[in-house]
Structures are given as C-alpha cells and as structure tokens.
A and B are shown apart, each in its own frame.
Chain A
Amino acid sequence: MLLQEAYRRMLLIRNFEETIEKLFLEGRVMGTAHTCIGQETLSVGVAAALQPCDAMTTTHRGHGHFLARGADPARAMAELFGKSIGYSKGRGGSQMMMDSSIGFYGANGITGGSIPFATGIALDAQMRKTGRVAICMFGDGASNQGVFHESLNMAALWNLPILYVIENNGYAMSTATVRGLANPCVADRAAALKVPGIRIDGNDFEEVRECVRHHADKARQGKGPAVIECLTYRLSGHSRGDPRVYRSREEEENAWKKDPVKTFEKTLIERKIASESEIELIQQQTAQQIEEAVQRCEQAPEASLDEFQNSLFSP
C-alpha cells in the first residue's frame, strides 16, 4: 500500500467515524456504535501488512479495520441506518458485519468473542494449507477474557498461523488499563506460553506495518502465533453518549496534540511524499465519498422482514 493510499484510508476512517457521531447527535441513525478516532493509523498499518488471502477479525470497535481492509463505506454505514444494502442487510448493526470476500471475518459485539473464532480460521488455513494468516484484533479489556489464554495456548500448541493484535488504547470503557490488568503490559502474557510478545507504538504507521508483516510472514512459514500489543489512545468516547467522567479533558487535549492522523499527514509533507494540495485533494475526495455514502444509505430500501425470516438457517 502506497503511503498516499494509506493516508486516504486513515482519513476515510476518520471521516466515517466523525460522520457517524454527527448522525447520532442528529438522531438519524439507530442503536449504538464505538468509533475508533485516534486509532486509524493502527488499523491501516495492520491492513497494509496483509496479503489479500489473510483473514481479519475485530471487535465492537471495528469500522476502522473493515474500512482499512477495503470495505464499502456505504454498505458499512447502512448497518447503522438499518438498510438492506448493509453488509448484514441491516440486521447486524455496527458490531456485526462481515465480508469474507475481502478477508474480513467480522466485527463482534462480545468482548473477546472473536478470539477463538479467529483461531479456528487459522486452524482451517493450516489444514487446507492456504498460506493464509489470521489477524485477531482486540482491546486491552478483551485480553482479560479467559478465552484469550485458552486460544493462545492452543494456537501455540498447534503452531497456528495467527497474530493476536491488541489495541491497547488505555481504557476498557471506563476502566483504565492499570485498573484492569494486574500487569498492564498485555504482550508480557505471551511469554508464559513461550509465544513472542511484542509491544510497539501503535500510532506509528510504519512500525505497525513492519512488525505485523514480519510476524505474519513467520506465521505463514509455519512458525506459529505472536502477540503484538499496539499502544494507542482512544480519542473518542467509548460509545455514543459517553460523558467521559473517567478521564480529564486535559488528558484528552494532550492526546489530541499527538493526533496520529495529523502526525502522519505532517510526515507525508515533510518527506515530500505528498504536497499540501495533494493532501487537500484527498481530504475533499474522502469527505465527498462519505457524503455519498450517507446519501446512498438514506435512499436505500429498509431491511426486509420477509427475507430475514427466511434466512434463519443456511440451506
């Protein structure tokens, strides 16, 4: 992925998330959503390291991962509008969408629920020798679910091609990492199972891409799983309507000063990879793309009850 393209995806995610927050405030969409503002470069860094055949799973906070992998923003957004063009035909909402054709095996509303699931996708990849690596994205909070330990143990025992990529964004809802993890370094947990555990700056696009690529290649060669902990910060609230009583506005302001998307933008200009006018053009284009997505959602037909009732079971 070229750096300009990476930037375009980061901006697309930022724009998507900000638009959703706005749509909620205006009462135009339903349900809930967890935006990943502040974690966009991480999403794109991981996606940039993958092969098209690779499989990714994510969590409740998954729009960024999905868009980074190439999802159609209109179809993703349509899940919030409850419209038939949505990836889950409007049935899933923000936390339940999947498109296996682009190697995206789903957001998941159960914290930690996708960890064994992704491990199973890796088992299938190993059995069928597809060369696929599974990338299981989850949060610092999810790392406390017992099933992480269970799955990592089995992945290590069986040498499965899977990377557990933790987005340590400092909080699990209101619970700061130091209040939820006896040892707030998730990567350390890998050592107990003799699995490589790496902790990196999750807001550094290139560091993320290189680290994920390196370990994905190793996994592809049959060298087994790895745990990669990416340090980041959730600039947005946990979910819509989060009053953020668990942290100070000052802490947030300081974090905004290090906004990873802006930082990446500056790097592109400094390194002369993109000019200011090119940056501006990308900004306009992504803004327009999101605007069009909103329009498509609004015009799309409602979710179909008939079709839903007839799809409980797979033929």
Chain B
Amino acid sequence: MRNITFTQIIRETLEAEMQRDQTVLLMGEDIGIYGGAFGVTRGLIEIFGKERVRDTPITEQAITGIAIGAAVGGQRPVIEIMFMDFITLAVDQLINMAAKLHPIYGQPCPLVLRTPPGAGRGYGATHSQSLERIFFGVPGLKIVAPSDAEDASALLQGAIRDNNPVIFLEHKLLYPMRFQVGDTLPGPSELGKAKIARRGEDITIIAWSYMTVLALRAAEQLAQEDIQVEVVDLRTLAPLDTETILASVKATGRVLIVEEAPLTGGIAAEIAARINEAAFEYLDYPVKRHAGADLPVPSAKNLESACTPSLESITKAASDLALAE
C-alpha cells in the first residue's frame, strides 16, 4: 500500500493511459511546461512531448471543439478546463456537438473533459462553482464525480476507454488529500455504478465528489451518537445508478441528498423525484435535500462556509432527519 495524493493518482493514471494508448492526447491551458493550474499534469510533457501534452491558448470553446473533432478523427483526447466555472465557454460544443454525435450522427466521440469544481478555497464566485447540473439533463453526456483516489483512477481509465464524451470532475479540495492506495493502479471501472461507501441502517446520505468525503466524516461522528448512516457515493451522475439509490433508500427509509451547488434546480431535486416516484411507500420521512445557498459563492471565509454544506451542517441535517418523528 502507498499513501498518495489525489493529484498524484490522477497524474499516474494519465501517464499509464498515455503509455498504453498512443492516441491518448492531453490538451489544455498551461498543462504542459507549467503542469496545470493545480499541478496535475506536472512532468508529463517531459515524458510524452509537446505534441501529446499540448499547451493551448485561452480558448475553452476551441479546445473543446478541437478535441471533439480529433476524437471523431481517431484520437482519445483528454482535455483540462482549468476551473469548472470556465466550462460555460465550452457549453455549446459539449451540448450541441459532443452530445449529438452518437445518437444523431452515429459517430463515437471518445472525449474526456477533466475539470475541478467546488468551493472551499476562497477563490470567489467565478472560480468555485459546481456546474455539473448544466449537463445533467443533456442526454448523450456522461458525468463522473469520484470522491477518492482508487475510484478516481479506475473511473478515469474507464472514461478514457469509453467511446462517449465524459465530463470528469476533480473537486479542488480533493487534490491535496492523501489516500491509501495499492502499489499498482486499479483496473478500469465501468461508468454508471454508485457504491455504498459506508453501511448503516438508520439513514441514507447520497452524495458525490467532495460532499461524499464530508458525508463519511459526518457518518463517523453520528455513529458515536448511535445513528448508523449509510453513505451512497454516486461516483457517476450520468448515467445515474437509480437502482443502488433505491435499494439503500428502501432499506433505511430516510434519505438526505447532499449537493454542494445551490439548492434550486439541482441534481438532488431529480434524485428526490425519482425516490418519490419509485420508493415513496418505503419512506419513513419525506426526502431531504441539503445543498448550497441560492447565492453566488462568496469569497470571505465565513460567508463561503455559510453558503456551502460543511461537516457541521451535514451532520446536523442528517441527525435532524434521523431523529425526526
């Protein structure tokens, strides 16, 4: 076993995939000699050269569109959008091109777009958003949001080998976190499978990405108060593993969905609707959502933490729900 950072395992995974397959190609702003804004691709240009680790101008729409074209041509591009907030400039290419290629034109599009969402660093309203909801309702796109290193590696391999466009979320608070991992990388994982990250019978918390980390910590605290929390880590948001969600909800009868982004119009709302439609009679209490404030993410530390779910707020929301009559 080894103890390494999330950043390190993503880098190793990219390196291994590039060694395995000559058509895997990295593109993005400052990913080459600089190694990426978060240092994820550091050192890869020295191994693979500037053709396969391509520094691009600041042009999210063209990076994305060019990667889509290269994917249809025969490459397996993995692009980096420096902060998820900047994906707004690439939305047209993702929604109107990548998502339509297979269902309408009949063309596979093996593209991976890696990007860090999330608050917690005081970067402010245009560098802290979790915008996966933009793509959640777009048929044809896959969205992957791991919460630990082994899963991130397995899912990134799965995403690179998938013949469809995949948006791969690397929460910026995960990057410096350390994880116990095997001496060798895990094998690729199929996309679209949630996992039970912790077993418990009193209440289910559904989360993804960094919110799973907080949910697991909350579960640990609540265990001391004799509240047994089951944590479902979605891992993939699209396609959504409704089956695993429903199985857990049916077993506990109480469910809290945690989403970092604003409450309104979120992914949690869709999950809640599915639970109500398919497992209403199993519920002991109405489905609860705990999400970010309906406000832009502010930069001041006290404001930022008040506006996004925290360990304390998740623990309280879960405890309230578990004890509600």
Is A151 an interface residue when CB atoms closer than 8 A count as contact? yes
Contacts of A55 in B (CB 8 A): 73
Across the interface, name the chain B residue whose C-beta is closest to A124.
B73
Contacts of B163 in A (CB 8 A): 313-315
Interchain CA distance A105-B96 in the complex, whole Å: 15
Interchain CA distance A113-B91 in the complex, whole Å: 11
Q: Give the Cβ gap from A192 to chain B, nearest Cβ, in Å.
A: 14
Contact assessment for B106 and A127 in the assembled complex, using a CB-CB cutoff below 8 Å = no
Task: Contacts A117-B68, A119-B69, A120-B72 given; indicate if A312 touches B57 (C-beta within 8 A).
Answer: no
Q: Give the Cβ gap from A257 to chain B, nearest Cβ, in Å.
A: 39
Interchain CA distance A1-B253 in the complex, whole Å: 71
Contact assessment for B105 and A151 in the assembled complex, using a CB-CB cutoff below 8 Å = no
Contact assessment for A125 and B73 in the assembled complex, using a CB-CB cutoff below 8 Å = yes
Interchain CA distance A147-B96 in the complex, whole Å: 14
Interchain CA distance A151-B60 in the complex, whole Å: 11
Q: Give the Cβ gap from B79 to chain A, nearest Cβ, in Å.
A: 11
Contact assessment for B69 and A118 in the assembled complex, using a CB-CB cutoff below 8 Å = yes
Contacts of B72 in A (CB 8 A): 100, 105, 117, 120-121, 124
From A88, A116, A121, A134, contact of B104 by CB (8 A):
A88
Interchain CA distance A124-B27 in the complex, whole Å: 13
Q: Which residues between 87 and 143 of chain B lie within 8 Å of chain A, taking CB atoms?
A: 92-93, 96-97, 100, 102-109, 139-140, 142
From B51, B97, B108, contact of A117 by CB (8 A):
B97
From B64, B73, B105, contact of A116 by CB (8 A):
B64
Q: Which residues between 163 and 214 of chain B lie within 8 Å of chain A, taking CB atoms?
A: 163-164
Is B62 an interface residue when CB atoms closer than 8 A count as contact? yes
Contact assessment for A113 and B107 in the assembled complex, using a CB-CB cutoff below 8 Å = no
Contact assessment for A128 and B74 in the assembled complex, using a CB-CB cutoff below 8 Å = yes
Across the interface, name the chain B residue whose C-beta is closest to A134.
B69
Interchain CA distance A150-B64 in the complex, whole Å: 11
Contact assessment for B139 and A312 in the assembled complex, using a CB-CB cutoff below 8 Å = yes
Is A92 an interface residue when CB atoms closer than 8 A count as contact? yes
Contacts of A116 in B (CB 8 A): 61-62, 64-66, 68-69, 93
Q: Give the Cβ gap from A63 to chain B, nearest Cβ, in Å.
A: 16
Q: Which residues between 281 and 315 of chain A lie within 8 Å of chain B, taking CB atoms?
A: 308, 311-315
Contact assessment for A88 and B105 in the assembled complex, using a CB-CB cutoff below 8 Å = yes
Contact assessment for B105 and A147 in the assembled complex, using a CB-CB cutoff below 8 Å = no
Is B56 an interface residue when CB atoms closer than 8 A count as contact? yes
Contacts of A119 in B (CB 8 A): 62, 65-66, 69
Contact assessment for B105 and A313 in the assembled complex, using a CB-CB cutoff below 8 Å = no
Contact assessment for A147 and B61 in the assembled complex, using a CB-CB cutoff below 8 Å = yes
Contacts of B51 in A (CB 8 A): 127
Across the interface, name the chain A residue whose C-beta is closest to B71.
A120
Is A67 an interface residue when CB atoms closer than 8 A count as contact? no
Q: Give the Cβ gap from A86 to chain B, nearest Cβ, in Å.
A: 11
Contacts of A65 in B (CB 8 A): none
Q: Give the Cβ gap from B23 to chain A, nearest Cβ, in Å.
A: 8
Contact assessment for B106 and A98 in the assembled complex, using a CB-CB cutoff below 8 Å = yes
B-side interface mostly:
helix
From B57, B70, B109, contact of A121 by CB (8 A):
B70
Contact assessment for B65 and A153 in the assembled complex, using a CB-CB cutoff below 8 Å = no
Contact assessment for B62 and A151 in the assembled complex, using a CB-CB cutoff below 8 Å = yes
Interchain CA distance A134-B65 in the complex, whole Å: 14
Contact assessment for A89 and B96 in the assembled complex, using a CB-CB cutoff below 8 Å = no
Q: Give the Cβ gap from A143 to chain B, nearest Cβ, in Å.
A: 15
Interchain CA distance A178-B33 in the complex, whole Å: 44
Is A106 an interface residue when CB atoms closer than 8 A count as contact? yes
Contact assessment for A314 and B62 in the assembled complex, using a CB-CB cutoff below 8 Å = no
Is B264 an interface residue when CB atoms closer than 8 A count as contact? no
Q: Give the Cβ gap from B154 to chain A, nearest Cβ, in Å.
A: 19
Contact assessment for B97 and A312 in the assembled complex, using a CB-CB cutoff below 8 Å = no
Contact assessment for B92 and A120 in the assembled complex, using a CB-CB cutoff below 8 Å = no
Contact assessment for B104 and A124 in the assembled complex, using a CB-CB cutoff below 8 Å = no
From A110, A115, A123, A134, contact of B96 by CB (8 A):
A110
Is B59 an interface residue when CB atoms closer than 8 A count as contact? yes
Interchain CA distance A81-B56 in the complex, whole Å: 42
27 contacts between A and B (CB under 8 A): A88-B105, A92-B104, A96-B105, A98-B105, A100-B72, A100-B107, A106-B105, A110-B92, A117-B69, A120-B65, A120-B67, A120-B77, A123-B66, A123-B70, A124-B72, A127-B51, A127-B70, A127-B75, A150-B57, A151-B65, A154-B57, A154-B66, A312-B140, A313-B103, A313-B164, A314-B102, A314-B163
Q: Known pairs A116-B62, A117-B69. 20 more at Cβ < 8 A? A: A88-B105, A113-B92, A116-B61, A117-B66, A119-B65, A119-B66, A120-B70, A120-B73, A123-B66, A123-B73, A147-B61, A147-B65, A150-B57, A151-B65, A153-B57, A157-B57, A308-B103, A311-B106, A313-B102, A313-B163
Q: Which 9 A-B residue pairings sit nearest by Cβ, starting from the closest?
A: A120-B69, A116-B65, A124-B73, A150-B62, A120-B66, A314-B108, A314-B163, A120-B70, A150-B59
